[in-house]
Amino acid sequence: MQDLSEGVAQFQRDVYPAKAGLFTHLATNHRPSTLFISCSDARVVPELITQSEPGELFVIRTAGNLVPAYTPGPDGVAASIEYAVSVLGVSDIVMCGHSACGAMTALAEQHDLSGAPAIADWLRHADASLARIAGESRAQEVDVLVRENVIAQLANLATHPSVARALTAKSVTLHGWVYDIPSGTVTELRTSVPSPALAA
Ligand SMILES: [Zn+2]
């Protein structure tokens, strides 16, 4: 905690004054251009990777960058997606996977998750991702699963009514990215997101 407190003090001393105008503007304006969905992994920092300023990215982070397919009922991920798309009106959605993802590694290597039931349940949202890597060589499994999971989660995203509406209106564009931690590179995946009609 000491490091965090020192960080806050440094922010107030050095960073905030340099961007005071921006923060004054942001105090009453929230118009991010992009919904950025990534893993909760501490090594993945959306604003750093994209060099975005405060106010530019609306961020949802979940273990394994998983987005459950839409089902009616209370759901924090669904509510955040709807807010970003329907209320804030983002024009782009980035689904960002990353190298050495713990969630994807646990699935690809079939780790025993019997002692972590919440994680085991949550990772079921990657069942379709896992099904897409059948037959891959073992050495490549995690990397391939990371990529296929981005594609599968974009398909899940398209089942959310707010996203389906925005896709139909062509007011939002979906992107699939993979961030490679050791090299710092970002690969944009070729994605074919199902049309809302097919996803319905
Ligand atoms: Zn991860």
Q: What is the pLDDT of residues 26-76, one digit of tens each?
A: 999 999 999 999 999 999 999 999 999 999 999 999 999 999 999 999 999
What is the 11 CA–ligand 1 centroid distance (Å)?
28
Q: What is the pTM of this model?
A: 0.93
Q: Judge whether residue 119 has pLDDT over 90.
A: yes
Alpha carbons 20 and 23: distance in angstroms, whole number: 5
What is the 133 CA–ligand 1 centroid distance (Å)?
17
pLDDT of res. 200: 36
Alpha carbons 21 and 128: distance in angstroms, whole number: 46
CATH 3.40.640.10 matches 31-189:
no
What is the 138 CA–ligand 1 centroid distance (Å)?
19
Higher pLDDT, 193 or 51: 51
Q: Where are the domains of the chain?
A: 1-29, 31-189
Q: Judge whether residue 185 has pLDDT over 50.
A: yes
Contact 159, 67 (CB under 8 A): no
Could you list the active site residues? Answer: 39, 41, 43, 98, 101
Contact 62, 40 (CB under 8 A): yes
Of the chain, the end-to-end C-alpha distance in Å amounts to 47
Q: What is the pLDDT of residues 133-168, one digit of tens each?
A: 887 777 789 999 999 999 999 999 999 999 999 999
Average pLDDT score, the chain:
94
**Joined tokens for residue 153:** 């989660």
pLDDT of res. 193: 58
pLDDT of res. 169: 98
What is the 125 CA–ligand 1 centroid distance (Å)?
14
Q: Judge whether residue 194 has pLDDT over 70.
A: no
Higher pLDDT, 197 or 4: 4
Alpha carbons 26 and 44: distance in angstroms, whole number: 24
What is the 144 CA–ligand 1 centroid distance (Å)?
14
Q: Judge whether residue 122 has pLDDT over 60.
A: yes
Q: pLDDT tier at 197 (50, 70, 90 boundaries)?
A: very low
Q: Which amino acid does the sequence have at 1?
A: M
